[in-house]
Structure 1
Amino acid sequence: MEWKIAFIDDEPLVRNHLRSLVEWEKEGFMICGEAGDGLQAVELVKMQQPDVVIVDMSMPGMNGLELTRYLLTANPRLKVIVLSSYDSFEYVRGSLSYGAVDYLLKHRLTSETLSAVVGKVRSQLQEQEAELRVKEQADIALSRSILRDHLMGVEIDRRLLVQYFSDHKWSIDKPRWVLMLVQLAHYDVLTARLKEQELIRYLRSVTDLCEQAAGGYPWGCTVAMDRGRWAVLLSCGKERSENAVAQWIAAKSARLESSLKLYMNLAATILISPIISSLDHSLEAYQHLVKQVEGQARESARAGLSVKGPYVTIGHEKRLLAAMEAADAQEAVEIIKGIMGVELQGQEKTVLQEKVSAELVQIAAKIARKADISADWMVEELSIFQRPGLTNEQAQTAVCGIYRRLAQELQRLNLSTDHSRHVRQALQIIAARYREGITLEETAELLGITSSYLSRLVKEESGRTFTELLTGQRIERGKLLLLEGDTPLKELHAKLGFSSYSYFIRVFKEVTGETPYVYMQRTKERSDS
């Protein structure tokens, strides 16, 4: 922080001496001007608005005592340091009573004594700045509270609304305002993927971006409403041209939209009201904007409902949950391709594509949250669904990429930390590639070690051979698929990597003690009872 300081003394030598005694920039000050008498000082202070002035008591015209009283009456926050000689001590005492910070004797003026007083003043200025920041934050919070209540239709004393904005320089001759409504896309996805405290911090960041785009305190007031919606009240200032105001607001809207995409990968609908001539009309303007954005949402919903296509059903969700429980990315990808595989045309394609993609990401976020895995990265992928001309294949690739990464996170979570690095990596490879019939030799080559060494590590740490681990992974996955009931029993062996149906039945019975059919019937009976 750099403050401004001015020297007021009728002796040029004294002013030069003050300049040379202290390295002002290192002390945090910039010399903004000098004056040779009290009348010049009044004009200097009015023009430069210094934070500190050093004032000589003995000057022609308006003396230092009169000047100090005048300056501190006009601006009590100004810091005045008095310069005096022995014969002006009464002046010094008077100036201190008016609120001067300290005094310095000219004949004893040294770098040390001046630096000490300047340090004292700097501390006071720092405390003053801190107090101002606290008050400013309180003012911002009050403005948001008043405006939010007003826009929500809560009965408030309208005089508070007018008085607040009048007190903060919004009120000029015939004041005018514009209201901006910001509605996030995919708000349901955000609420699904984030815990409560994470969501609060995330939405606060959106509020900050809106505030920055608006121009900040005190010329813009941003309030978070509900369900991913913000209202931004903007003062038009002294601008009278409606065309100039429209261009100015459009630039702010474009900047906000760009910031949301750049910094948070969020898409938003931004609507702007006509110019508001009275704050009493801001509620009506807000309600009109809300109707517009809700109307757009209904149109999108109707367009989506008119399409007979691959919606994400409860059955789909159950299958995805089961696939992720097994950290089976390949199975999840097949399910997603089945959901998104229908080719659509025109606007209906875009609407349904975005709807289904958002639902699939929401399910992934729900799985991550249940496993206590951070899913902040998922929202970064959402911006792709607002790209013009996005193909169904590109949308599928984006969604599948989210599920592949989630499967990797779940695999790492499920693996015991007691295992060595090579065994953990081998278990990850088995979980990801069990359908291919991945071999011990192939896995060892991927890890850059010999097959005999990997075989020994796996046996020592898990108590089972590599083949037994691979078979166990297939059987556990088979149990989940049996309970889902979506895959015919005759086709199940292919999904698990077994060469034939009869071989699958034999291995399943060896591991579990019963055939797949018996296991499925017994488990269902137990769940029904």
Structure 2
Amino acid sequence: MYNILIVDDEVLVRTHLKLLLQNLSNEFTVCGEATNGLSALEKIPRIQPDIIFSDMRMPVMDGLELCRQVKNQYPDIQIIALSNYDDYTYVRGALKNGALDYVLKHKLNEEYLLSLLTELKKNLNVQSGLKSFPNRTVSALREKFVNDLLGEVFLSEKDIETNIRFLGINLDLTHLIPIILSVDDYARIEQQNNLNQKNILNFSICNIGNEILSKYPTGILAHIEKEIYCILLSFASEVSQAKIEGTINSLLQQISSNYKKYLNISVSFCVGETTGHIIDISHSYTRALETIRLTFYSDRQSILRTKSVPIPPSDLAGLDYSLEKSLLSLAQKGDYEKAEEIIQKLFQNMADQKENRSSVQMKCTDLLSIITRISKKNKLDLNKIIADKISPDQIFIQFHTMAQFSEWFLDCFLNMCREIKLQLPGDSSYVKSAIAYVNRDYSKPISLQSIADEIGISIGYLSTIFKNETGHGFTDYLNSLRISTAVHLMELGERDFHKIAEECGFQDYAYFFKVFKKRMGTTPKTYLRRFE
């Protein structure tokens, strides 16, 4: 086993090279990383690398000086210079001072590295004896330890302590805080990337996160599942709550900004409650895991805290029947103003109740059903209705927050109501306005006179142009709309004829029956039997 030390002040270069090396061969393991030559020199006695990959341009101590120092102090270590096109002077100096070769950063690939390392093995004189586990194996074992710990696999404190010591994890046994890290928009990222790309992203998240944690007294980051990661911190020697909060805030800010800078992803966090002893960490972790789901009600890059956020109920429920019925009726008439009010209230109620994502999805599916049914009934082009051209099957993948869902559905209903209004009869603005008033207020005691007053024209003129443009007298059109609404309510399951008559604007129950039979050729009771 040959140990490799990577020295570069750019975390993205280190991560990329480390990933290439770990996928290359079991003979080579990355035993450490450093951000400059001085840091590398301090680590060499402890990690005992056989090979050093070093950048040339670095702060504090550059690669050229590192080569000089290593040549004098550790002549058996092989050095490979990492360079850019404009680093020729540095590279030439490095080669004069013991570097065996150089690699252009933009040409780093597995094939070239394997060829290079194969040649390096011929020059290495590694003393025999037991080597440490490969870094890849150690990382996997540490991740397994965290997952087992959170899953309550360990039966005793002694088992936990033994694993922490054996795996070299910087973590105390008391005063621990779990922090959930969740990748924002993970469903979209998962859809756009293949398995290998997702593995690379997971590796990079863990590598960058644990490198940042290495600068803190304690801490470890591990992947749990899909978009979920867990950070464990311990504050056994810190009594000041203000300092603990300051440390956590600083850490989360560093992690968030580095992921945005190097991986172009945003993440959200939930800080769990402090656990007295590590063996009890699972409960605090579970609470934090439940809470992180509530980023759905906030936004990207949120920081939640378990204690301040109530956990939503797990009950599942679709749209309330009366609400669904109202939306169907309003959309059918193109009444967006009232539909908008209902939809906004619906999403606000879900936000106030902090309903879980599954329940929200059920209600959204019911709203999609309304859009589909109204569009099919009115022969509308769905392409003109779907907001932002994001198809319905993609909204649960593309959208991350409640606000995005609300905005999308409001736009869809607006587009649908506009398309329906275009189908309304009438040529003049007067008739179109009259029909809009009828569609809006049909359940009220309206008349041709009241509508003429609203529009601002005489009742005689409105009566004439209304019949000329629609082919129907006003009363005939109003009754036709009311009976159509009554039939629609029956199809939705309404069985109370008094309630149907009232909702459709008939003040006289007997008159409702008379008009219904004239329009439909049968009584409401007989018509209703077809649905039984």
Give me the TM-score of the superposition, normalised by structure 1: 0.44
More helix by share: 1
Give me the TM-score of the superposition, normalised by structure 2: 0.43
